[in-house]
A and B are shown apart, each in its own frame.
Chain A
Amino acid sequence: MIFECLGEKIYAEKIDNGLQVIIIPKKDGLKKYAAYATHFGSINYKFKAGSEEVTVPDGVAHFLEHKLFEQEDGVNALDKLTKMGANPNAYTSFNHTSYLFECTTNFEEVLKALIQFVQNPYLTHENVEKEKGIIGQEIQMYDDDPSWQLFFGLLNSLYTGHAITKDIAGTIESISKITPEILYKCYNTFYDPSNMVICVAGDVEVEATLDLIKKYTKERKVFVDIDRVYDVQTEANKTNKTEKKMDVSVPMFMYGFKRANIGEKLKAELPVEVNETIKYDVAMQILLEIIAGQSTELFQKLYEEGLLTKELSLEFSSEEDYAFSAISGESKDIDKVISSIRERIRRLKENGINNDEFERVKKLVYGRFVRSFEDVSTIANLFISDFFRGVNAAKYVETYKNIGKAEAEQILREHFAFENEALSIINVK
């Protein structure tokens, strides 16, 4: 299939072993980017592949990400790709793990090396034990990171009891239980081509790249649908406010809303048409700007009163099992900021959105997307994460152009219901 987006052609094909391939040939670019990703992230600690239900310790997906670089010949894959002139890396999110590189020369050789190391795990008791020290350091680093603590504070309130509230890297206690057997179990289930995607962006030959991927990716071994078992939120513990004290100069806050009904779970695929999920996303991007963006009266006033010193961060995150919006910033009077935001939401719900403002903000979000479409890694990562949640990223431009004010207003009233709100605060120690 070929999709078009902002003058770029996007080639998508599901090859015989079940692997989804996406190629975005950006002419004249110097950087080339490729990522090999699996639909397995930190929240997938419970799953069924066939009849057996498996539960693994927290932090396994991330642990596996670290370990895959280790190869049987003793050469670390990270070093190998770096020696080839590439800039390799990997990351684990709540719902996927991605191995990637950026390079300016040697693209095909490096891509081959990427595919090979992701497909050849080498896990021993010794190398697994050694990794626990390094990951332990990483976990501690996040313990000292106020933004990270703020974010998880919000998640804890919105999704009490759900796996999304757990640190992606796990805890020092949980990773101590990880063994090579557990890692292989997860690897053999989730690192099957039928559960993965390769996305390439940059000035590459489409046919040659596709042939290379077909030649070097492995055979499919998993023929059942993997059933990702998700936690149900434990309402009993739900509080809508969390507070923590840390070494920061100004208190920080993150104020969010959970989407109560996230609708039908979408399959990991590239839909041909605009679907409900992408429409909701675009509506939320516009709505958050209208509520608390830089050009609002609200922001202007709070800034002048010295209650905000820089723009608010606005985000909406939507995946197969959760969706929430968040407005975050720093302020010496958080109560006042939050009550102003709530008041603004209340008014908008009551009076609707001003027409000029709606059109203006549409231009803003469209332009922002155009800008993001410049960088090969941003584009590829967007296509990958959208693929896993059943969204085709080539469809944003069309959605920006066509979204109506009435549609957005309906989503405004539905999403920003105060019974779904929560607040996370980091106070000055």
Chain B
Amino acid sequence: MDEKIIKLNDKIFVHILDTKRFKSNIVAAFLLTDLNKEDVTANALIPAVLRRGTKNLKTMKDISEKMDNMYGAVFDASVDKIGDKQVLQFYISAIDNNFALNNEDLLNESLQFLCEAIYEPKLENGSFDSEYVLQEKETLRELIKGKINNKGTYAIFRCTEEMFGDDPYAIYKFGNEEDLENITSESLYTQYKKVLDTSEKHFYISGNINIDEVKKFFENKFETKESTEVKETKLKKCDLKKLEPRVIVDKMDVTQGKLVLGYDVNVESLENDFYKMTVYNAILGSSSNSKLFQNVREKASLAYTTRSIYVKHKGILLVTAGIELDKYEKALELIKIQVEDMKNGNFTDEDLNDAKVFLENLFVSCLDDQSTMIELSMGQYLLNAESDVYKIIEKIKNVTREDIIEMANKVELKVTYYLKDE
């Protein structure tokens, strides 16, 4: 992907992905904050309140009408967790100017709107609109409670929570209900100002764009200053050495059990080991040719879904399986055998090659979807790693059998989590 990064000052970066392949464009912004217990709930609430109204478009109805008139532009603001960062995300996507029926400059409207949404909220007595804050607190409360709705993601969350304990990565990205009580529109506005002042901000503009116009837009909007800060790796790998292996069982009303195995990978560097672990993960369980899929699902019929996930921003590996309730022991045993096999080099050169072919297709495909492209670029940036898809593929191709066995022997089971029936 052809990415141009403009560093406006110490805190603001503009990433331009100029591509003519699409019928729409995206303007996105990521505000990076450190994940911590004190701020997590307030930070989760900020995008929700900003979504409600801006200086010029005071209500959601005004915003929605604006989006309709921009030919169904999509605007959203949310919060996500990337490694130890809590990321406030803002996003607008509109159709390419060529498809507008009355020659509107939709990209410019998107840029204007997104900046207004972030920097010029609707205010009331110098603070956020108190009604909006009150309502969004309730919405966030439901979102926090809704953690249990999807049993698969809930089981993954619970497993990582057990793995990380007091480490920030155990924190739920939407925060917790208790904090909500003490948040007022004033306290939230103070926190918002703090986030604006301190967070590192990354803007992404993707689509059929005029780079000079985009550049000019940002230079007019923000102070430009030669940057003095040296970029360091921003994410910390985990340290789970002291964690004793444990088995955790939760009970809920389910007809299918959810098994999640949490492994520490003991990576030396999140950045350098990313390529090796990506290939390891493809062989073990992220593709349909993988050992887990073939042996646990296809051959033994022990699970309908089973896969492995390598969390590149934290250096952990998760193996998940949806299983029949009485097959817990059998499924667990068979999954462990697959992980052992990797350690012993029990995979063929063909497996290795299949994994590389699978990954090449996967990464090239990223280039056909703008939001995936942006997500990949932001993720790699935080890893301090290569974001050019073809260079990533090159590095993946260089991974050897020995590399995989080396990584496999660093993989250590820490938490066995099982969600079963009551």
- The answer to whether A134 and B297 have CB atoms under 8 Å apart is yes
Q: Which residues of B contact A300 (CB under 8 A)?
A: 59-61
What is the minimal beta-carbon distance from A409 to any residue of chain B, in angstroms?
A: 19
For the complex, give the distance between the alpha carbons of A29 and B19 in Å: 11
Interface residues of B in 245-271 (CB under 8 A from A): 252-256
Q: Counting CB contacts under 8 A, is B199 at the interface? A: no
Give residues of chain A (137-158) contacting chain B, Cβ–Cβ below 8 Å. Answer: 137-138, 140-141, 143-144, 146
How long is the Cα–Cα vector from A39 to B293 in the complex, in angstroms? Answer: 29
Docked complex: A394-429 residues within 8 A CB-CB of B: 429
Of the listed stretches B62-70, B119-127, B215-223, B233-241, chain A binds B62-70
Contacts of A364 in B (CB 8 A): 67-68, 71-72
Q: A144-B254, A303-B135, A309-B139 are in contact. Are A29 and B21 (CB under 8 A)?
A: yes
**Which of B355-363, B374-382, B400-408 is near enough to bind chain A?**
B355-363
Question: Which residues does chain B contribute within 8 Å of A60, judged by CB atoms?
Answer: none
Complex alpha-carbon distance, A134 and B298, angstroms: 8
Residues of B within 8 A of A246 (CB): 253
Q: Is A6's CB within 8 Å of the partner chain B? A: yes
A364–B22 CA distance with the chains assembled, in angstroms: 18
Partner of A86, one of B69, B147, B297, B361: B361
Q: Are A304 and B364 closer than 8 Å at their CB atoms?
A: no
Known: A144-B151, A374-B24. A360 touches B99 (CB 8 A): no
Q: A247-B148, A375-B369 are in contact. Are A133 and B289 (CB under 8 A)?
A: no
Q: Is A25 an interface residue (CB 8 A)?
A: no
Q: Which chain A residues in 293-345 approach chain B with CB under 8 Å?
A: 293-297, 300, 303-304, 306, 309-310, 330
Residues from chain A with a CB closer than 8 A to the CB of B138 are: 306, 309
B23 adjacent to A304 (CB under 8 Å): no
- Chain B residue nearest to A304 (CB atoms) is B135
B372–chain A nearest beta-carbon distance, Å: 11
Q: Which of A7, A104, A363, A374 contacts B22 (CB 8 A)?
A: A374
- B146-A140 in contact (CB<8A): no
In-complex Cβ contact of B72 among A6, A76, A371 (8 A): A371
B85-106 Cβ-contact flags toward A at 8 Å (1 or 0): 0000000011100110100000
Tell whether, in the assembled complex, residue B297 and residue A363 are in contact, meaning their CB atoms are under 8 Å apart: no
Determine the residue in chain B with the shortest Cβ distance to A400: B101
User: With A and B bound together, what is the CA distance between A199 and B235 in angstroms?
Assistant: 44
Contacting residue for A83 out of B95, B142, B357, CB 8 A = B357
Q: CB within 8 Å of A: which of B263-305?
A: 287-289, 294, 297-298, 301, 303-305
Q: How far is the CA of A111 from the CA of B71 in the complex (A)?
A: 36
B365 within 8 A of A: yes
On whether the beta carbons of A368 and B59 are closer than 8 Å, the reply is no
Are A85 and B95 in touch, CB under 8 angstroms? no
B364 and A30 form a contact (CB under 8 A): yes
CB atoms of B361 and A140 under 8 A apart: no
Known: A82-B358, A429-B253. A295 touches B23 (CB 8 A): no
In the complex, the answer to whether A367 meets B148 with C-beta atoms within 8 Å is no
Name the one of A82, A84, A103, A247 contacting B288, with C-beta atoms under 8 angstroms: A82
A125 CB–B CB distance under 8 Å:
no
Which residues between 38 and 66 of chain B lie within 8 Å of chain A, taking CB atoms? Answer: 59-61, 64-65
Output the residue of B297, B298, B324, B367 with the most chain A CB within 10 A.
B298
Chain A residues positioned under 8 Å from B143 (CB to CB): 309
Say whether, besides A29-B368, A144-B255, A294-B64, A82 and B287 are in contact (CB < 8 Å).
Answer: yes
Is B358 in contact with A371, judged by CB distance below 8 angstroms?
no
Known: A247-B148, A250-B145, A374-B22. A105 touches B301 (CB 8 A): no
- The answer for the CA separation of A365 and B101 in the assembled complex, in Å, is 13
Q: Do B71 and A141 touch (CB < 8 A)?
A: no
Cβ–Cβ contact A367 & B61, under 8 A? no
Contacts of A31 in B (CB 8 A): 364-365, 368
User: Are A141 and B68 also in contact (CB < 8 A) when A30-B367, A146-B149, A371-B93 are?
Assistant: no
Distance A246 CA – B255 CA, assembled complex (angstroms):
11
**B145-186: which have CB < 8 Å to A?**
145-149, 151
| A146 surroundings in chain B (CB, below 8 A) | 149
Q: How far apart sit A148 and B143, CA to CA, in the bound complex (Å)?
A: 20
**Complex Cα spacing A82 to B356, Å:** 11
Task: Check if B225 is an interface residue, CB within 8 A of chain A.
Answer: no
* Residue B340 interfacial (CB < 8 Å): no
The interface of chain A, by Cβ under 8 A from chain B, is: 6-7, 28-31, 76, 78-79, 82-88, 102-105, 130, 133-134, 136-138, 140-141, 143-144, 146, 246-250, 293-297, 300, 303-304, 306, 309-310, 330, 360-361, 363-368, 370-371, 373-376, 429
18 residue pairs bridging A and B, Cβ less than 8 Å apart:
A28-B21, A30-B368, A134-B297, A134-B298, A136-B324, A141-B322, A143-B256, A144-B255, A248-B149, A249-B148, A250-B146, A306-B135, A306-B138, A309-B139, A366-B72, A367-B72, A371-B93, A429-B253
